[in-house]
């Protein structure tokens, strides 16, 4: 991370003040309590900015934004402030792929190599020889779209896989930034484990191959524009840059340091695993669509009710999901968002079979982005919520602390 001076950091910390409060359908006292949790929380935890939205299937019930867009300008964050949402892209990719399943263009359980021929050559890492050279073999089961959507394909991110780290060290290979769906070995046979990884990259490539459109084009036409998600895109328009929130990072537990704001270059390729920019008020529309069993606010049928039911059900059987041991502490802490519980994975979401204490119900759906953006969807209680911060490492204790405080305040209200 680029260095900033101690004085610049102190200045950033001093400007953590409320910038927006807009609530509906909660009584003022309860809305104020959520405001207080967020505004006091970012000051106590030295988090530069946060925006949050809560809704039921039809109405926004709370919206708030606190802190500053960056450390120098004094510009408040607002409800339409733009964040890099990273892996919150994945659920939208899952929805896109399942639209193609609904249309009969893709088989959920058939070999995905039918649409992506290069995956016919995927190989499984099967140990190392006496010289330390990796041994590779054909997978016992072909990779299917279901494997990709449930992160059981065998593709693993090296950030959370010691096996991938060992393979990289043994081969001297690196995975360049910006590569979509790198052809790396599978760390296990498809369907035998859950491990977070490049699966959604490949699901996005499948959407492009089958639809004949780029992922940006497909998303806009079939999901984002029908839902009115007008600030969600892989490409940050120049006239929206003023609303983009700064990214921060910490190393070895040090104070957060700001990455200077700069207009991002358009991506050379669109990645189903991450890359979207969005706002909390935009993304809540996607989560509301799930609560409405696939319908948008104006009646657009984004997904069939039967498809949403599959996305809301355990699709990994007894395979536990959601826990990750970090191999890159500056990018992510160890991930365990539901301590003491064995969560599962659906077609695109983490699913908790048991309720969170003082929070979301059993059977809720959730995931996150690496810059500490989070959402959950609670069909039983008809509640969905989005909270966005913008710093590394992922699941930093302060980010998880604010997420938990926010969730408790939502259900208390």
Catalytic positions, written as ranges: 87, 90, 196
Name the DSSP letter for residue 324: B
Gyration radius of the chain's alpha carbons = 21
- Write out the H or E segment, with its range, that includes residue 38: helix 28-45
In this structure, are residues 207 and 334 in contact, taking their beta carbons and an 8 Å threshold? no
In this structure, are residues 62 and 31 in contact, taking their beta carbons and an 8 Å threshold? yes
What are the DSSP calls for 297-314, one per residue?
TTS-BSS-HHHHHHHTS-
Nearest to 148 by CA among 194, 209, 179, 114: 194
Q: Rounded to an integer, what distance in angstroms lies between the CA atom of residue 245 and that of residue 18?
A: 15
In this structure, are residues 2 and 33 in contact, taking their beta carbons and an 8 Å threshold? no
Which two tokens mark 332? 């992510």
Nearest to 122 by CA among 172, 150, 156: 156
């Amino acid at each position: 991370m680029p260095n900033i001076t101690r004085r610049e950091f102190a200045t950033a910390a001093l400007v953590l003040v409320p910038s927006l409060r807009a609530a509906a359908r909660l009584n003022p006292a309860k809305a104020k309590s959520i405001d207080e949790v967020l505004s006091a929380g970012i000051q106590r935890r030295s988090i530069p900015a946060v925006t949050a939205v809560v809704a039921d299937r039809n109405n926004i019930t709370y919206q708030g934004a606190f802190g500053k867009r960056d450390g120098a300008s004094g510009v408040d964050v607002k409800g339409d402030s733009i964040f890099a949402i990273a892996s919150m892209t994945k659920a939208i990719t899952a929805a896109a792929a399942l639209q193609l399943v609904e249309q009969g263009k893709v088989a959920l359980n058939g070999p995905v190599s039918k649409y992506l021929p290069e995956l016919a050559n995927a190989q499984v890492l099967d140990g190392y020889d006496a010289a330390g050279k990796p041994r590779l073999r054909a997978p016992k089961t072909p990779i299917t779209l279901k494997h990709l959507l449930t992160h059981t394909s065998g593709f693993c991110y090296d950030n959370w896989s010691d096996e991938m780290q060992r393979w990289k060290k043994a081969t001297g290979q690196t995975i360049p930034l910006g590569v979509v769906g790198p052809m790396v070995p599978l760390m296990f046979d498809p369907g035998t484990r859950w491990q977070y990884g490049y699966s959604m990259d490949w699901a996005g490539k499948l959407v492009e191959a089958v639809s004949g459109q780029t992922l940006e084009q497909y998303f806009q036409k079939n999901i984002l524009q029908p839902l009115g998600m007008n600030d969600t895109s892989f490409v940050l328009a120049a006239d929206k840059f003023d609303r983009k929130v700064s990214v921060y990072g910490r190393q070895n537990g040090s104070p957060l340091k700001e990455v200077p704001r700069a207009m991002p270059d358009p991506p050379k390729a669109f990645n189903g695993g991450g890359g979207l920019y969005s706002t909390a008020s935009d993304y809540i529309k996607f989560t509301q669509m799930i609560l409405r069993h696939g319908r948008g606010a104006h009646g657009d049928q984004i997904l069939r009710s039967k498809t949403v039911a599959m996305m809301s059900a355990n699709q990994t059987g007894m395979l536990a999901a959601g826990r990750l041991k970090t191999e890159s502490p500056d990018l992510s802490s160890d991930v365990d968002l539901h301590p003491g519980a064995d969560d599962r994975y659906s077609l695109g979401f983490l699913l908790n079979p048991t309720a969170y204490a003082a929070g979301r119900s059993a059977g809720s759906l959730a995931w996150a982005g690496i810059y500490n953006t989070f959402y959950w969807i609670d069909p039983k209680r008809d509640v969905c919520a989005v909270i966005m911060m913008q710093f590394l490492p992922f699941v930093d204790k302060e980010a998880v602390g604010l997420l938990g405080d926010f969730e408790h305040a939502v259900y208390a209200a």
